Chains A and B, each alone.
Chain A
Amino acid sequence: MHKTLIAAACAAVLAGCAGTGPSGSASDAAVRAKAVETMKTSFKERGIAKLDRLDQDETQSVCSQYSTAAPPKEVAERIEKANMALVKPPSDGKYLGDWKRGEQIAQRGTGFQYSDTRETPVGGNCYACHELSKAEISYGTIGPSLHNFAKIRGYGPDIQKYAWGKVYNAHAYTACSFMPRFGAQGILSEQQLKDVVALLMDPESPVNK
């Protein structure tokens, strides 16, 4: 089943697949299919982490092919379009929640690990990868610094909408981003998304100080 899915993904973007040399070849797809098969027999469900976590959606399976390189343009455009379609605006049209709660969500790293339960509070763990407020010096560098995010880009509705969309589904703007799709994958609730967007956008937020 997965073999066909990957083959289909490759066929749909044939130009891209062929263009990436060995990483797009038929034999490469076969190795990838075998790897998926091997993983399915090697992992065991544990707690909340069931085996269906190994079922890739199209974005995951296509992005796995490009390892560390960015996908070719046509592929990137297709992934961005498909992911943009998954971005749901807030139900009341308001993007900004409470930046103080947003800061807590940005600090929290728990959620969705097999060592967590369904009751474990889920965080966004933004600090794992980003600098945000200057007061927190324990931040990671996988993503760019977000300090002064709105101060630099502006506080207006367009930027609010971008911040919402980016946190909701990073691949809508950057295909194969390393950033989780917090809204589209159901990691954060609508309220939590608003709270972290407020952390980025509120003039009173330490991010913009």
Chain B
Amino acid sequence: MRIRAWYAGAIALAAGMVAATAAVGQDAASTAQEIEKYRQALQDGNPAELWEARGEGLWKKPAGPKNASLEKCDLGLGPGVVKGAYAQLPRYFADVDRVMDLETRLAHCRVTLHGLTPAQATARPFGSPDNRSDNDALVAWVTSESKGATMNVPSAHAKEKEAFALGEKIFYFRGGPYDFSCATCHAADNTRIRLQDLPNLTKQAGAQLAYTTWPAYRVSQGELRTFQWRLNDCFRQQRFPELGFASDASIALTAFLARNANGAEFKAPTIKR
């Protein structure tokens, strides 16, 4: 109900802000100001809460061929423990003998607990207004339960170390028709593409700023977008093929970026341009 009211307001504001951002003659400073205004207007609410609420429902409701809920899903801190779990992912899971990020683990639990096939559990990684994604909602809810937690991605296990090392190489891998890598756009301080500021993901401060603020409600899209979505969209701009959802490269790259954010307070879901 409260959500309803400000959601309508949010859409009106969003429309105004997107128009302002697109306007010719708009400079970076005033774009930032618009976003700040928008954030303040939404101080006691973020449309991401709609996804969080739906995700909590999906977590608790018995579903699938096994008609079981996800409440026994072990996200790394023990079965059913959601609080703070995201701040310690990706991590090694002994039951599958591999490193998993949140999305991969959720898909795993939807297979083992709901009884879905792996294909069903990963069928719709990213939603659109007319075709919502359960993954988006579950991720929104699980991440919201880490709000305020300190990023503490483990690296004791050999496979955790390996994932990090592979992720680092993937970050610097140059290829495709434009010779781009993540580092082309994210390895220097204070650069931007057009007017969009680019975080320096090779430094702790930049990685912390970026990683701890996803997922985000994207004003320009009217959608909640996950960190995996962000990676996918950057690979598209990189002129690469499509990064497979819950793939090993995706887990490794996420492990690299998440661990670089260690020590920072997790703040998402947030709101972004």
Contacts and interface: CB of A to CB of B under 8 A. Distances in A.
B255 to A, nearest CB: 12
A129 interface: yes
Nearest to A66: B172
A114 interface: yes
B183 to A, nearest CB: 6
A203 to B, nearest CB: 26
A49 B240 contact: yes
Contact of A68 (B165, B170, B198, B202): B202
B179 A114 contact: no
A181 interface: yes
Contact of A49 (B195, B242, B252): B242
B247 A42 contact: yes
Nearest to A43: B241
Contacts of A55: 175
A112 B239 contact: yes
Interface in B204-249: 236-237, 239-244, 247-249
A50 B161 CA distance: 30
Interface in A47-97: 49-51, 53-56, 59-61, 63-65, 67-68
B178 A60 contact: no
B194 A127 contact: yes
Interface size bucket, B side?
A: 35 or more
Contacts, number: 134
Nearest to B173: A64
B43 interface: no
B166 interface: yes
Contact of B166 (A38, A41, A60): A38
A42 B249 contact: yes
A41 B247 CA distance: 8
B187 to A, nearest CB: 5
Interface string B116-139: 000000000000000000000000
Interface stretch (A13-21, A134-142, A145-153, A191-199): A134-142
Contact of A41 (B26, B190, B194, B248): B248
A170 to B, nearest CB: 9
A155 interface: no
Contacts of A185: 177-179
Nearest to B196: A140
A45 interface: yes
A180 B179 contact: yes
Interface in A167-209: 178, 180-181, 185-187
A59 B248 CA distance: 26
A116 B141 CA distance: 33
A65 B178 CA distance: 17
Residue with the highest number of chain B CB atoms closer than 10 Å, among A55, A127, A138, A141: A138
B188 interface: yes
A38 B170 CA distance: 9
Given A38-B249, A44-B244, A113-B239, A141 B173 contact: no
